Amino acid sequence: MALTPLVYWAQRHEDIYLRVELTDVQNIDVHVDENVLHFSAQGHGAKGQNEYKFSLDFLLPVKPQVSYKSTQRQVNITVHKIQRGWWERLTLRERKPVFLAPDFDRWLDESDAEMEIREKVRVQLGFVSLKTVFLIVYNLVQFLGFSWIFINMTVRLFIIGIDSLYDTFHTISDVMFFCQILALVEVLNAAFGVVKTGVIPTLIQVVGRNFILFIIFGSLEEMHHKPVVFFVFYLWSAIEIFRYPFYMLGCFNTEWKTLTWLRYTVWMPLYPLGVLAEALAVIQSIPIFDESKLFSIPLTKVIGTSVSFSYFLYIYLVLMFLGLFINFSHLYKQRKRRFRTKKRKAN
SS3 assignment, position 55? strand
**Res 14 pLDDT > 90:** no
The confidence score (pLDDT) of residue 160 equals 93
Q: What is the pLDDT of residue 118?
A: 62
Q: Compute the average pLDDT of residues 131-155.
A: 94
Q: Which of 94, 278, 311, 314 does the annotation list as catalytic?
A: 278
Clarify whether residues 195 and 94 are in a common domain. Answer: no
Indicate whether 175 pLDDT > 60: yes
pLDDT at position 303 is: 59
pLDDT one-digit tens code per residue, 46-82: 888 899 999 999 999 999 999 999 888 899 999 999 9
pLDDT of residue 131: 82
Task: Tell me the H-state helices in 96-213.
Answer: 110-160, 168-182, 184-191, 199-210
pLDDT band at 220 (very low <50, low <70, confident <90, very high): very high
Question: CA distances (Å), 54 to each of 36, 51, 65, 100, 165, in order?
Answer: 10, 11, 18, 10, 82
Residues 313, 220 within the same domain: yes
Quick one: 216 and 307 in the same domain? yes
Tell me if 197 is assigned to some domain.
yes
Q: Which of 97, 118, 139 is the last residue of a domain?
A: 118
Buried b (16+ CB within 10 A) or exposed e, 60-85: eebeeebebebeeebbbbebebeeee
344 pLDDT more than 60 = no
Q: What is the mean pLDDT of the chain?
A: 87
Q: Are 37 and 92 within 8 A, CB to CB?
A: no
Banded model confidence at residue 86, pLDDT cuts 50, 70, 90: confident
Residue 341 lies in a domain: no
Asked if the structure places residue 123 within a domain, the reply is: no
Find the mean pLDDT for residues 140-145: 96
Question: Residue 338: its pLDDT value, please?
Answer: 64
- CATH number of the domain bearing residue 11: 2.60.40.790
Q: Domain containing 37: what range?
A: 7-118
Which residue, 118, 148, 166, sits at the end of a domain?
118
The total number of structural domains that make up the chain: 2
Assess whether pLDDT exceeds 70 at residue 84: yes
Residue 13 has a pLDDT of: 84
Judge whether 254 lies within some domain.
yes
Claim to verify: residue 215 and residue 68 sit in the same structural domain: no
Tell me whether residue 271 is one of the annotated catalytic residues: yes
Q: Is residue 249 part of a domain?
A: yes
268 Cβ contact list (under 8 Å, min separation 6): 332, 335
Q: Percentage of the chain with pLDDT > 90?
A: 54
Kindly state the helix (H) or strand (E) to which residue 308 belongs, with its residue range.
none
Whether 338 maps to a domain, the answer reads: no
Quote the pLDDT of residue 149: 97
Which of 62, 83, 118 terminates a domain? The answer is: 118
Q: Is the pLDDT of residue 302 over 60?
A: no
Residue 146 sits in the same domain as residue 55: no
The pLDDT of residue 124: 55
The Cα–Cα gap between 67 and 23 comes to 18
Which entry of 271, 291, 311, 332 is annotated as an active-site residue? 271
Tens digits of per-residue pLDDT, 243-293?
999 998 888 878 888 998 888 888 888 988 999 999 999 999 999 999 998
Would 345 be classed as within a structural domain? no
Please check whether residues 78 and 138 belong to one and the same domain. no
Bridging pattern class, strands 7-11 and 100-102: parallel
Active site residue 278: yes
Maximum distance among all alpha carbons in the chain? Answer: 96
pLDDT at 333: 75
Q: Is the pLDDT of residue 156 over 70?
A: yes
pLDDT at 116: 57
Please tell me whether residues 230 and 294 are part of one structural domain.
Answer: yes
Highest mean pLDDT among 24-33, 106-115, 128-137: 24-33
Q: Do 183 and 312 reside in the same domain of the chain? A: yes
Tell me what pLDDT residue 12 has: 87
The answer to whether residues 235 and 323 belong to one domain is yes
The predicted model scores a pTM of: 0.62
Judged against a pLDDT cut of 80, whether residue 2 lies above it is answered with no
Q: How confident is the model at residue 304 (pLDDT cuts 50, 70, 90)?
A: low
Q: Is 343 part of any domain?
A: no
**For residue 299, what pLDDT is reported?**
73
Answer yes or no: do 134 and 114 share one domain.
no
Say yes or no: 104 and 249 in one domain.
no
- Report pLDDT for 41: 92
Q: Are residues 136 and 94 in the same domain?
A: no
